[in-house]
Chain A
Amino acid sequence: MNEAAERYEGDAVPRAASRDAVLDRVVARETTSSRATAAVIAAVLVIGLCVYALLETAVRAVGQPPWLIDPQTAAERVIALPAGFPPLLLGVIGAVLFAAGLFFFLNAVLPGRRARHVLADPRAAVVVDDEVIASALARRARLAANVTQEQVMVVVSRRQVLVNVRPTSGVPLRAADVQAAVEAELRDMAPSPMPEVRVNLASSGVIGA
C-alpha cells in the first residue's frame, strides 16, 4: 500500500514523514512540561541586571552622580567581599542565590515528564493521563477480584503499575488472577512506555463487602 502511494502520488511519503514529525512534536509537548516560565523568569532577571548596569555606566559616562552605586565602587566592594558586609546578610544572600540557581539548574536538567502515557494509534496522537489508565485498570482488577470499588487502589507511574487489593474476609484471592487480568487490560491498551504490573494483596480483609 505504501508502494502504491509512492508510485501514484509523488509527495505522499514526504507528507507522511512530516506529519509523523509533527505528531512526534505534539506528543513530546504533551508528555513533558514546558520550561517557558523558568526561561522567561531567567530572561527577565538577566535583562533587568543588564539594564541596570547600562544605566549606571551611562550615568557615569555622562558625569552625573551614580544612581545607586558607582560601577567602580561596586567592583571594589565585590573584590573585598568578606569584609564590609555583616556575615548574616552574606549568608542569606548566598542561600537565596543557591536556591535560585538550583531551581534553574534542575529545571534545565531534569526531563520534566508529566504523568501521562502515549497510546498507539494509527491516525492520531493519543496522550492519556495516568489517572485515567489507573481508573481503567482498577475497574478490571475489581472485576477480576470480585470486590467493591473501595477495596482496590491502583497507582500508575511511568514504569510501574501498583495494584493494591484488599480482599473480602472469608473469600481468599489469588494475586496471580488479578495480575493476569490487569496485564491483559494493559496489553490491550498498549501504553508507551509499557509499565510492569505489581499486585499487593492486603493481609487483612474487609468484613461483609
Chain B
Amino acid sequence: MSAPATRLLAGHNRISTQALTSVARAAAAEALGVPPQDVRADWADDDGLLALSLVTPIAIPSLTAVLRDPARVASFGGPIWDRAVAAKAEILRRVTELSGAQLSRVDIRISGASVRDGGRVR
C-alpha cells in the first residue's frame, strides 16, 4: 500500500500559526458579533491536540433598547454567559471544519462589551 500511496501524497502541507490564528479570530468574530480585529487568539498544545484561547469583546444591545423592549436580549441570543458557551461549540466546529486540525478545547474570556444598537432583526 505504502509505495504508490506515498508517491501520490509526496510533499508536505503546513498551516502556519498565523493562518490558524486568523481563522480562529474570524470564527470568533462571527460567533460573537464583533469585528475580527478586536479578537485576540492564542494557541496552545493540549496533549497533541490544539487548545484555543480567545480574549474578545461581545456584542450586546444597549441597555436603553433593552429597557424599551426586553425581547432584544433574546434576539441577541440570550445572556452573555449562554452566548459564550454556545459560541465555544460553534467556534470549535468552524475552525475544525476550515483548518482540518482537531481542536480539543476553546477557552473564551470576555474582555468587554461592544454596544450594537442597530441590532439584528429576526
The answer to whether B48 and A167 touch across the interface, beta carbons within 8 angstroms, is yes
B65 at the interface (CB under 8 A from A): no
Number of A-B residue pairs having CB atoms within 8 Å of each other in the complex: 65
The A contact surface, by secondary structure, is loop
A87 to B49 Cα, complex, angstroms: 66
Contact with B along A182-209 (1 / 0, CB 8 A): 0010000000000000000001111111
The answer to whether A208 and B102 touch across the interface, beta carbons within 8 angstroms, is no
Q: A208-B15, A208-B18 are in contact. Are A169 and B43 (CB under 8 A)?
A: yes
Please give me the residue from chain A that is nearest to B19 by CB atom: A208
A147 to B12 Cα, complex, angstroms: 7
Interface size class of B (residues with CB under 8 A): 20 to 34
A146 at the interface (CB under 8 A from B): yes
CB distance from B40 to the nearest CB of A (A): 16
The answer to whether A171 and B2 touch across the interface, beta carbons within 8 angstroms, is no
The answer to whether B43 and A207 touch across the interface, beta carbons within 8 angstroms, is yes
A203 to B49 Cα, complex, angstroms: 10
Interface residues of A (CB under 8 A from B): 142-144, 146-148, 167-172, 180-181, 184, 203-209
A-side contacts of B49, CB under 8 Å: 169-170, 172, 205
A146 to B14 Cα, complex, angstroms: 9
The answer to whether B44 and A207 touch across the interface, beta carbons within 8 angstroms, is yes
A sample of 29 cross-chain residue pairs with beta-carbon separation below 8 angstroms, ordered by A number, consists of A143-B9, A143-B12, A146-B13, A167-B48, A168-B14, A168-B101, A169-B43, A169-B48, A169-B49, A170-B49, A171-B101, A172-B48, A172-B102, A180-B2, A181-B6, A184-B3, A203-B47, A204-B47, A204-B48, A205-B45, A205-B49, A207-B17, A207-B43, A207-B44, A208-B14, A208-B16, A208-B17, A208-B19, A208-B20
